[in-house]
Chain A
Amino acid sequence: MKLFGSGHGACPGCGLPIAVKSVLEGTGPCFVANATGCLEIISSQYGKSAWGVPYIHSVFENSAAVAAGIEAALKALGRKDEGPVVVFAGDGATADIGIGCLSGMFDRGHDILYVCLDNEAYQNTGNQQSGLTPPGSNTTTTPSGKVLPGKIKPKKDMVSIALAHKAVYVATASVAYPRDITRKAKRALEFEGPKYLQIHSVCVTGWGVDGKQAIPVAKLAVETALYPLVEYENGQLVRVKKIKDRKPVEEYLKLQRRFRHLFKHPKGKEVIAELQKIADENAKKYGLDA
């Protein structure tokens, strides 16, 4: 039986199955706790589960705590050798509504790999903004209008938040690089304690990209330095994905409906400049330019 099999209901071009399969390839048989969200809905309908691993979905904001309970039970029952404990949760479940449980999981030092599937909004319910929605994104709760150019504030810095909790392994990845995801999942499990892996995952409907364009778009997020791929071990930055000939952010933005308004909105230029500044700062902070 496949660990994450066929039969899931993801849209063609959706990044989530790529992310999940790539993680499970690295972890092997494991215990999965999943937050309410896209992944849960496409994979866990009663009678149609796509999971070949023990899987639990409780509620929206508690998957880090549910995973902590699984880990504690395995310890108490002497069953830790059955496999690692992995969380899959969306960006909203991670950075917004579930951040209390996540902080508790980090703080108590549970031996868990927490994977945040970052499609940059509440996509399951139709593209409402989350703490990980980038500036300028036109979501249904931060729409662009005559005055406002979409989402105002930058993405919440979950990598720093994880590092501040002394998570033993913290990394970002992208569905454009599945083998990198697998390697990182595998590497993460070499560390005992709480581990955080945030995977940039394309949402074809929410972002407004053609299914065939999903991977090129994801790649551009990395190549513009808007989504830097970084890896920390015990708090130290150990690896980054270097970028040859870093591309301007417009190349990434113009392929997506969620940013289209920026090219004609009165404040669009300002927002694009802000996004370019974020990319430049990422490149500098992590030494991304090859």
Chain B
Amino acid sequence: MKTVFYRVDEKFIHAQFIYGWLPFLNAKIVMGVSEKTANDPESSHAYIEALPAEISASIIRPKEAVKSNIGEYEAERMVVLFSSLQDVLLYFEAGGKIRRLNLGGIYPLPDRKEYLPFIHLTDEEKILVIEMISTGTDIYCQDTPYSEPRELLSILQPKQNLKSGKNE
């Protein structure tokens, strides 16, 4: 098995992923990683039902994903899709490793700040992703396959107001 893509998207398996990323990556296997959805059979059913028949998919807990991410599909291209940053954290805590991680959709909540139209983070989440980067995971933001990737650190740093010289 060759994992070609690690992504975080709070909409999880949805149109952008199904019609955009899967054909773009020519992936045949989706490993959905979500503590919440893996515990909800109806929700898991609805997500998997949405995928094309030729895609093999499962939705499992982060801890199980660490064990599953080896060996079974030698020739196939696999995508690992997390439903939240919290799931990525649990994956890391269980011993999982990711060299490069795509942030594809983290949506508005009252205590989140917008960094890009599709990236919103609380202060705690901002600290969390910076820690992930500092421990060796490259994190970049890109919602759709043909949009420009942006390194996460570059959007987290405050911009300087050229007129006042102050950080915004």
Partners in one complex: no
Interface residue ranges, B against A (CB under 8 Å): none
Interface residue ranges, A against B (CB under 8 Å): none
